[in-house]
Chains A and B, each alone.
Chain A
């Protein structure tokens, strides 16, 4: 079993104008992913772009290992043209995912935008015990809604434009929620994935409310397995690698 393998594209479905769902089937024996881990995916077959791209493990289905991605630049623009049957090289699963649930705490999962991919990988771990706050720009960018509803009894959706769920950001929703909980707030353990400013804001809210939690970070990376030191993030214990010690870090550890 190796963390470097060939895989076949099973399908590559557009979910809206800029987000896709990619399903791959490894062609060899692979290691089972843990929630919060990621894979480096080869996007082209030339030297431009040169590097693989990191994507959070989303879930496993009958169609294979799945990833959610947003078309943002050179690499993801090539990925959107991935055809069924194409064979690509992949590294993974990589990194340190979310820690095992702690007793006595209620998991509070917060996802912003495409960050749902990483957060979704956690939902099964917590069965129905987790509360999920999920925000995006508009209703077209809310994914796996039905699956999430089936996985939790408590799901609060928010959109910036109010086209689905509450109007506002997931930060607003989190603030409201914690205010309502008042003294019970510290019984929650936060797990967050989304854009960096969102994670920074959540960490601040967590500190202010005396809540512990974890964030899954993103950073430019060349290798994904700890060699290049390109993805270093500043922590209270010095620089750490997003690809190795992360992508999931304890909130209080990160120097924003």
Chain B
């Protein structure tokens, strides 16, 4: 509709807001305002600089940095990845340069951008998580995402994320020691009841939950009878896991009031919107970055186009917008 149409319908001010001042794509995670709901998923966006020639980092809602541990980790043996139908398995094993080098070598670069900086952290013990959170809070990162759901390491990771008492204790300890940054708990899909774990995170003081991490999986080469990954098992990601992730976001949305960050096989704007309708306030793009390094930007543009097409002014109108009283699908299209 052009301006005349809007004036005719008495919607001039709406038009002005929509096209004159721009649409509102901003969302809030705790006290943190993101310019749009599109974030990067930890472990798929390196330390940000790997994407600098493809993506204008300033355009992103937030950059989530690959899991950082106190000491550098060398990761798992190769092969570390394999492709599966509509997805991939990985067992990288959280290879990272460690906190000290991250602060010295990567942080100054990341600080140059006008985007929110969230660092994913992994500890072997609760004390290590606290130490990492404190150090990162001290250098003013915007958020800390607790990796309590990695399936590829022997300590920390999924072990903490699937034990209710340990998880509650861990989050409250971190919450107490972090002053400025928001705390996001990244949940494992490997639990019987995601609502229970989301609630634990909320009650322990987490500002938000992000879900889901990869789903433990496995693939075998039938010619050699060998596992396709040196680590035997790995984490499944990509479009294959999207319906599971959407379901879990929906369940979590019905259980907690804190914002939910949806993750799992988001390839385009349509997928992102689906997650938001299920209850996600923001989303993280993961495996899609490998396939199309510009995926995040295309998703932001796609969300904007969708809102424009539907004559919507505020992306927040999507959050939890699911109309569960009726159903609709076009299987035979």
Contacts and interface: CB of A to CB of B under 8 A. Distances in A.
Task: Say whether A associates with B.
Answer: yes
B222 interface: no
A49 B85 CA distance: 7
Contacts of A229: 75, 80, 92, 95
A230 B80 contact: yes
Most buried by B among A225, A233, A234: A225
Given A230-B92, A232-B80, A50 B239 contact: yes
Contacts of A228: 43-44, 81, 90, 92, 290
A91 interface: yes
B212 to A, nearest CB: 18
A244 to B, nearest CB: 8
A222 B50 contact: no
Given A225-B50, A227-B44, A229-B95, A52 B90 contact: no
A51 B79 CA distance: 16
Interface stretch (B13-21, B291-299, B315-323): B291-299
Contact of A225 (B75, B90, B293): B293
A89 B239 contact: no
B88 A222 contact: yes
Contact of A47 (B44, B46, B267, B293): B267
A54 B75 CA distance: 23
Interface in B40-82: 43-46, 50-51, 53-54, 74-75, 77-82
A232 B88 CA distance: 16
Given A2-B54, A234-B78, A239-B74, A223 B289 contact: yes
A219 B78 contact: yes
Contacts of B203: none
A94 to B, nearest CB: 11
A197 interface: no
A50 B86 contact: yes
A220 interface: yes
Contacts of B114: none
B83 interface: yes
A104 interface: no
A238 B74 contact: yes
Interface string B85-105: 111101010010000000000
Contacts of B238: 47, 50
B45 A227 contact: yes
Interface residues of A, number: 29
A228 B75 CA distance: 12
A220 B84 CA distance: 13
Contacts of A51: 83, 88, 290-291
Contact size class for B?
Answer: 35 or more
Given A47-B267, A232-B95, A226 B88 contact: no
Contact of B291 (A3, A50, A219, A238): A50
A227 B53 contact: no
B77 A234 contact: yes
Contacts of B287: 50, 222
Most buried by B among A4, A221, A222, A238: A222
Contacts of A234: 77-78
A49 B51 CA distance: 23
A239 B293 contact: no
Contacts of A74: 83
Contact of A226 (B50, B85, B239, B267): B50
A230 B81 CA distance: 5
A102 interface: no
Most buried by B among A50, A230, A239: A50
A227 B51 CA distance: 8
Contacts of A62: none
Given A234-B77, A234-B78, A4 B291 contact: no
Nearest to A52: B291
Interface string A205-227: 00000000000000111110111
A234 B80 CA distance: 12
A91 B292 CA distance: 9
A47 B50 contact: no
Interface of B: 43-46, 50-51, 53-54, 74-75, 77-83, 85-88, 90, 92, 95, 238-240, 267, 287, 289-294
Sort A-B residue pairs by CB-CB distance and give the 4 closest, nearest first.
A230-B81, A223-B290, A222-B290, A227-B46
7 contacts: A47-B239, A51-B88, A220-B81, A222-B81, A223-B293, A225-B293, A227-B50
